[in-house]
Amino acid sequence: MHGYVLKPANYTEGKKYPVAFLIHGGPQGSFGDFWSYRWNPQTYAGQGYAVVMIDFHGSTGYGQAFTDAINQHWGDRPLEDLQKGLAFALENYPYLDGGRVAALGASYGGYMVNWIAGNWSEPFSCLVSHCGIFDTRMMGYATEELWFTNWENGTDVFTRPAEYYIFNPMLHAKDWRVPMLVVHGDKDFRVPLEQGIGSFTACQARGIESKYLRFPDENHWVLKPQNSMQWHTVVFEWLEKHLK
């Protein structure tokens, strides 16, 4: 497995830093040497966080077989990779504070945050789920990218709906307990709006500290500069509250 660890700005030897554990989307994507307004690890480093990023099964750049290995395995192989990757980082980089870790992700990364909430909550102080899938079965009915859910689940939801329940975060919401910030855009047709509302409602129903950031004029991305400022302000306030 490959991953990255990024030191915070103004790093001081011997000091421990809270960790932003970023999970990429796609899931056929990768962390690479690029710059963006959104999910830029340097923004977290600039706020005083150490950043850990793991390229799990499904990531691109390691051969087609590695990329295809996530098909019908959304919740097991990548989760194991993320668990082992974070454990390795915490063990080998002493400036990472294992008692102050947040998991953040969008799209598939948001799905994984929702999956983590019910299957791997122990190390995390808070979570950020942006445009994440909450109910994989409803996703199969509602997304505008139907070929994607068919490909990832090995079938369509009408023929074999049971396949859509195997790694469904909704079925594990009864075990959620970590504070979660949920972000969604009203015009997101890739991961439709009800997915974000479902995540937030699950938190509220469970009595979990949670917050919902809604962008009426954004889709699957946050593209407008002022909205990006709002996004970063709210996310960093959430991390500040729970990690610092």
Catalytic residues: 107, 188, 220
The DSSP 8-state label assigned to residue 166 in this structure reads: T
Residue 31 one-letter amino acid = F
Residues pairing with 106 in the sheet? 130
Burial of 217 (0-12, 13-18, 19+ CB in 10 A): exposed
- Going by C-alpha positions, the residue among 208, 186, 189 that lies closest to residue 199 is 208
Residue 224 one-letter amino acid = K
Cα–Cα distance measured from residue 230 to residue 27, given in angstroms and rounded to the nearest whole number: 26
**HSE-CB for 216 with a 13 A CA cutoff:** 0
**Residues in Cβ contact with 93 at an 8 Å cutoff, skipping those fewer than 6 apart:** 5, 50
**Residues in Cβ contact with 65 at an 8 Å cutoff, skipping those fewer than 6 apart:** none
Angle (CA) 216 217 220, round 5°: 95
Q: Which residue has the tokens 């499904």?
A: 58
